Amino acid sequence: MTQHEWPLWEVFIRSKQGLDHKHVGSLHAADAAMAIQNARDVYTRRMEGISIWVVESKHVHASNPDDAAAFFDPANDKVYRHPTFYEVPDSIKHM
Amino acid sequence: METLELTQEEQFQARIDADMRIEPKDWMPDAYRKTLIRQISQHAHSELVGMLPEGNWITRAPSLKRKSILLSKVQDEAGHGLYLYSAAETLGASRDQMLADLHSGKAKYSSIFNYPTLSWADMGTVGWLVDGAAILNQVPLCRTSYGPYARAMVRVCKEESFHQRQGFEIMQTLCEGAPEQKAMAQEALNRWWWPTLMMFGPKDADSPNTEQSMKWRIKRFTNDELRQKFVDMMVPQAEFLGLTVPDPNLKWNEAKNGYDFGEVDWEEFWNVVKGNGMCNKDRLGARVKAHEEGAWVREAALAHAAKRKQRAEQEAVQQVA
Amino acid sequence: MQVTPSETVSLAKYTPEVRQQLFRYVLQLADTSLILGHRLSEWCGHGPILEQDLAMANIALDLLGETRSLYQYAAELEGQGRTEDDLAFLRLATEYQNPLLVEQPNGDFADTVVRQFLFDNFHYHFLQQLQTSPDERLAAIAEKAWKEAAYHLKWSSEWMIRLGDGTEESRQRVEKALANLWRYSGELTTPTATEQALQSLNLIPDYAALLPAMQAHVAKVFEEATLPVPAETYMQKGGKAGRHTEHLGYILAELQYMQRTYPGLKW
């Protein structure tokens, strides 16, 4: 038996016009064209999508969970980035 | 070092206790990873092998509508297997290795699929009873602690909901049909009832891994809890259909607000697990055959992709030159 | 009755004779999709890899969907109260009119791909033209099925190329499959008397006009697949006239099993 496996691809689907492509899962395919077709056959059997992206899994670079605190916690105290931080008088409309 | 490891494990457990999801790159105990790979791949194998007993009737479905429904259902099972293999692959298992374990008999799959499908009513019974039991197992797993597994299960459950209904619809049509159809339905229920109860696994007392799995939230109810839930759910449905559940000890128990029911034949259960079911050899044989006969196809696709890539690279070099 | 393509006609306007011919013809199309869908569905659970198992089931489901629309239309054309299932399950082998190609066994994956490619290449180009049929029901069925056939042809063409230009083994297998199946391809575009009659009314496409596009596609795919286009061979035919290979009987034995064993019941 051969251990020669088709590469793994990550699949991203746009469910309708105007929305982002969203990661839905992965699959195996020998090449990109096949990966797109397989994604169509596997992940859009119930009209879940109108557009497909595939990317070979080995090309996805991810942040390290160990860095999560350093990466993402500093945004915690920047409340002034959010509109609700600001008080606007009731009489002011359209802001 | 020892204390650091302990802290990591404690932190890990704290996240699970807080109902937070564990994601692929997060630290996790080896045992958690191994247990999950075993559980998810077992589940994936069950979907894959589970295609065979129903696939057995696709070419004999009694109407065009039923044929389309059955084919799309069995195809869904291939999809579910695929989602689950993908989830297991995020833990570092390769699909090839998982399949090799299935083919060698090292990995298990649900024993229910080692029973034969002998009549059209079996398509109804498998959808109604077997998928009904599977859904009870699967719905809680949509909230399981491992993110990719939970997400795969959400997708599976969403698709699975039509499976049980189409099974029930087949049964209802049979039960409202001619006497020989009703008899076909009853005969199927007689064969499938007990094996379906076995799907929830051994009694809690004989299921040593349950406690740890519950703690990790990769299992959310015990085997006996689910079995009881299933009986309570199914008996009224069987009554609605006018079918008799083949258990003389089945009786409503007001005090526990549930049914008392007879003892599963555990000897049969362990025998089928060990490979002595009627179809163990056929099912596995069919999977091995499909995989081996597909080897040259998979090789060809890889070889062609490599040739293409090489040609594209050569063209790029020529353009630069 | 001569119909120009700009008019659309519905079945009420047909003479009994045309209606009978059209009934016969729509049955032929339905039988074709049914038998090929049936063959492909045999792969379910046994494909070379899970992803392709799903792909073949999708094609089979498309074909079964087309089958149902066609039998439903045929039943209306006949007007005898028969249903899609009566037509699909309760006729004699000699009454099925699918071309011989689609009843050939799945064989190995190369046989299935070659059978599919030869059929898809016809089906796609045929449906493209059928969309402009003045028969509005056929045009509507064709419009839906053509989109599906476009995908099928893409799938089978790409696999022809992968297998032809893959490994030594895959090439040998695809050549062997071609040597066996090519002889059934001619029947697809050889009109029967019924087809000729409907063609002369402009109700269905002229097959000769499809050939250049079909041949061009074969040439393109075979070139990429590094396969020689098979030389002229003696073409088998008979299926469309109800004279089948031995394989159809076994297909029907399974297909008709329930309906024959339990006549007249609902499922």
- Given this model, what pLDDT does residue B5 score? 56
- Given this model, what pLDDT does residue A69 score? 81
Q: How many CB pairs under 8 A join B and C?
A: 135
Check if the beta carbon of residue C25 is closer than 8 Å to that of residue C194. Answer: yes
- Given this model, what pLDDT does residue A2 score? 47
Q: For A44, which residue in chain B has the nearest alpha carbon? A: B79
Instruction: Determine, for residues C45 and B55 on separate chains, whether the beta-carbon distance falls below 8 Å.
Output: yes
Alpha carbons B201 and B214: distance in angstroms, whole number:
15
Alpha carbons B93 and B146: distance in angstroms, whole number:
15
- Given this model, what pLDDT does residue A1 score? 41
Nearest residue, CB atoms, B62 vs list C38, C52, C267: C267
Does the predicted model carry a pTM greater than 0.95?
no
Average pLDDT along chain B, 321 residues, taken 10 residues at a time: 69 94 95 96 97 98 98 96 97 96 96 98 97 93 95 93 93 98 98 97 90 90 95 97 98 97 97 95 97 97 96 88 72
Which contacts qualify for C84-90: CB closer than 8 Å, 24 or more apart? C84/B64, C85/B63, C85/B64, C85/C259, C87/C27, C87/C30, C88/B64, C88/C30, C88/C34, C88/C255, C89/B62, C89/B63, C89/C255, C89/C256, C89/C258, C89/C259, C89/C260, C90/C256, C90/C259, C90/C260
Q: Is residue B296 in some structural domain?
A: no
CATH number for the domain including B189? 1.20.1260.10
Q: What interface predicted TM-score (ipTM) does this complex get?
A: 0.95
Check if the beta carbon of residue B303 is closer than 8 Å to that of residue C167. Answer: yes
Q: What domains are defined for chain A?
A: 8-81 (3.10.20.520)
Largest CA distance in chain A: 76
pLDDT in tens, A15-36: 999 999 999 999 999 999 999 9
Q: For C159, which residue in chain A has the nearest alpha carbon? A: A34
Check if the beta carbon of residue B189 is closer than 8 Å to that of residue B140. Answer: no
Which residues of chain C fall short of a pLDDT of 70?
1-12
In chain A, the percentage of residues whose pLDDT exceeds 70 is: 97
Which residue, among A28, A37, A42, would best test binding to C if mutated, counting the most C CBs under 10 Å from its CB? Answer: A37
Q: For B289, which residue in chain C has the nearest alpha carbon? A: C46
Instruction: Determine, for residues B75 and C58 on separate chains, whether the beta-carbon distance falls below 8 Å.
Output: yes
Nearest residue, CB atoms, B25 vs list A3, A25, A64: A64
Instruction: Determine, for residues A42 and C51 on separate chains, whether the beta-carbon distance falls below 8 Å.
Output: yes
- Given this model, what pLDDT does residue A13 score? 96
- B301 CB near a chain A CB, below 8 Å? yes
Which residue, among B296, B307, B311, would best test binding to C if mutated, counting the most C CBs under 10 Å from its CB? Answer: B296
Q: Give the up-direction half-sphere exposure of residue A55: CA atoms within 13 A in the CB hemisphere.
A: 11
Residues spanned by the domain of B209: 8-277
Instruction: Determine, for residues C51 and A30 on separate chains, whether the beta-carbon distance falls below 8 Å.
Output: no
In chain C, the percentage of residues whose pLDDT exceeds 90 is: 94
Q: For A45, which residue in chain C has the nearest alpha carbon? A: C58
Q: Is residue B313 in some structural domain?
A: no
> pLDDT class for A85, splitting at 50, 70, 90?
confident
Check if the beta carbon of residue A48 is closer than 8 Å to that of residue A22. Answer: no
Check if the beta carbon of residue B57 is closer than 8 Å to that of residue B70. Answer: yes
The count of other CB atoms within 10 Å of the CB of residue B235 is 17
Q: Is residue B312 in some structural domain?
A: no
Helix locations, B209-279, DSSP H: 210-215, 223-241, 266-271
- Given this model, what pLDDT does residue B302 score? 97
Q: What domains are defined for chain C?
A: 15-261 (1.20.1260.10)
Residues sharing a CB contact under 8 Å with residue C240, sequence separation 6 or more, in sequence order = C28, C97, C98, C99, C187, C192, C195
Closest-CA distance of chain B to residue A79, Å:
24
- Given this model, what pLDDT does residue B3 score? 54
Domain count, chain B: 1
Alpha carbons B144 and B219: distance in angstroms, whole number:
7
Closest-CA distance of chain A to residue C78, Å:
34
